Structure 1
């Protein structure tokens, strides 16, 4: 066998081994990823209830691809961009999960929660900031996750966004 043929075969084997290792690493990373706050897809969400601090709970419903305030006698159009941000919170990536029993919920701002977001019947409670990094605590069911601060919900009053 010629030297060039042996080199070509060796090179091909090295490429196959590297591809297999890369595939294994990607698969391993995907399986160990903590996931998102909920399994809901933002586009499929049709009901949102939001309570931030001691403000009145805001109720929204999606009809004909637009969001409407559902807590008023006369339905009023809501800001679709703001509601898009709220429903995207349901798919927020979680940095890590821990059982809620691991924490003293009052020390991380979850008892009482700083905000409560309910999307299609699933409740997400939001607590305080983490001591390190730009993270915040969020409780879903019996687990507490750490999420980016950018996913903390804001009330309509605090965001100065008016309905149409």
Structure 2
């Protein structure tokens, strides 16, 4: 009987240790991402890209809308996924001249729920870019940038010969 109780105690202790490690790993992973937001939980997205009109997306019943109309679901999901962008390093914003790293004005501004992300230029070395989050600058992969909306295809003329 004692052996059985000792075995059960060991299993309970092991499960508790695994759960604690899992929680610690999850917290550590979120510390190394652009935001602590879960992309699947983002409800509102505002995006500003140079030279394009501002856009807003809202998630209702699992679907994205833009100004009340059906939105490009793929684009909205791509924008929300930027919340979990991996960060190579964090630095204080005061260490940089915003104009020199493309943040005055930013290349793009993305607001996920209430978290504002300002995207700047690429770094001098490596394929990375600057992103301002609050009073910190993140160094992230270069491709981490809100994409422009899809444009309509150009009309073609069937049978036209140049």
TM-score normalised per structure 1: 0.72
Aligned: 1:58 with 2:55: yes
Counterpart of 2:160 in structure 1 is none
Equivalent position to 2:37, from 37, 40, 54 = 40
Note the residue ranges of structure 2 that are not aligned, 5 or more in a row: 1-23, 154-162
Aligned residues: 129
Distance 2:59 2:118 in 1: 22
TM-superposed CA distance for 1:33, in Å, is: 8.9
Note the residue ranges of structure 1 that are not aligned, 5 or more in a row: 1-26
TM-superposed CA distance for 1:132, in Å, is: 1.3
CA displacement, residues 101-144 of structure 1 (integer Å, 9 cap, x when unaligned): 00001000001101000000110000001111111100000000
Structure 2 counterparts to residues 89-128 of structure 1, below 5 A: 89-128=82-121
Equivalent position to 2:133, from 108, 121, 140 = 140
Distance 1:34 1:133 in 2: 22
Distance 1:118 1:33 in 2: 18
Secondary structure of the structure 1 residue equivalent to 2:88: strand
Distance 2:106 2:56 in 1: 18
TM-superposed CA distance for 1:54, in Å, is: 3.1
Distance 2:82 2:29 in 1: 21
Change (3 A) 1:46 1:32: closer
Q: Is contact 2:30–2:36 with CA below 8 Å preserved after alignment?
A: no
How much is the aligned-residue C-alpha RMSD, in angstroms? Answer: 2.3
Post-superposition, which runs of at least 4 consecutive aligned residues in structure 1 deviate over 3 A? 30-34
Secondary structure of the structure 2 residue equivalent to 1:51: strand
Equivalent position to 1:68, from 65, 68, 72 = 65
